[in-house]
C-alpha cells in the first residue's frame, strides 16, 4: 500500500518536487496523485505537504514538519563494516563511502549531501549493523 493524496490537496506541487522516485504527478492547482508502483513510502511528501493532504501507507494523515527540523542519519563507526548498503539505500545519493579509516584502508560512509536528505531513514532501516541512527 503506497502513500495517497486526499482531496485536501491544492496542487502546490511541493510533494512532486521532493518525491525522489518521480511517483507524484499532477497539474498546478489541481489534485496530485501518487503512482502506487513507484511510491517507496519514504514519507517526504507527507512531511512537506502544508495542507496535510497526504495519507501514509496505513491510512494515517501525515503532519508537516519544518524542513530544518527533519532528522538526519548519524553513524557509529565502531559498528560499521563498510558494506555500502547505506550508500545504495539512500534514494538521493546523500551518503557515500568517502572517509578512509584511521587505522585501516577501508572506507566509511558519510552524509555528503545533507541538504538533499529527505529523512526517509532507509539508510538506518537497511543497515544490518544498526550503525546508523536518525537524530
Bridge partner list, 108: 99
Nearer to another protein, 7 or 130 (CB): 130
Contact indicator for 71, 65 with CB cutoff of 8 Å: no
Residue 77 C-beta: closest distance to another protein, Å: 13
Contact indicator for 9, 50 with CB cutoff of 8 Å: no
18: helix, coil or strand?
A: helix
Nearer to another protein, 10 or 21 (CB): 21
Contact indicator for 96, 109 with CB cutoff of 8 Å: yes
Nearer to another protein, 11 or 91 (CB): 91
Residue 23 C-beta: closest distance to another protein, Å: 8
Nearer to another protein, 97 or 119 (CB): 97
Residue 73 C-beta: closest distance to another protein, Å: 16
Kindly give the residue spans of alpha helices, DSSP state H, lying in 30-100.
44-48, 85-89
* Site residues for another protein per CB under 8 A: 1, 20-23, 36-38, 40-41, 81-85, 88, 90-94, 97, 100, 104-107, 113, 116, 122, 125-126, 128-130
Hey, how many other C-beta atoms are within 10 angstroms of the C-beta on 7?
A: 6
Element (H, E) at 126: helix 122-126
Residue 57 C-beta: closest distance to another protein, Å: 10
Amino acid at each position: 500500500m503506497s502513500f495517497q493524496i486526499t482531496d485536501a490537496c491544492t496542487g502546490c506541487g511541493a510533494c512532486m518536487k521532493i518525491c525522489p522516485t518521480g511517483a507524484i504527478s499532477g497539474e498546478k492547482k489541481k489534485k496530485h496523485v501518487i503512482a502506487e508502483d513507484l511510491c517507496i513510502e519514504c514519507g517526504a511528501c507527507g512531511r512537506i505537504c502544508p495542507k496535510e493532504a497526504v495519507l501514509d501507507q496505513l491510512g494515517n494523515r501525515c503532519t508537516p514538519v519544518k524542513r530544518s527540523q527533519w532528522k538526519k542519519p548519524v553513524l557509529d563507526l565502531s559498528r560499521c563494516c563498510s558494506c555500502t548498503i547505506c550508500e545504495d539505500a539512500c534514494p538521493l545519493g546523500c551518503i557515500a563511502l568517502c572517509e578512509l579509516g584511521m587505522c585501516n584502508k577501508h572506507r566509511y560512509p558519510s552524509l555528503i549531501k545533507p541538504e538533499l536528505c529527505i529523512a526517509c531513514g532507509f539508510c538506518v532501516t537497511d543497515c544490518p549493523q544498526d550503525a546508523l541512527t536518525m537524530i
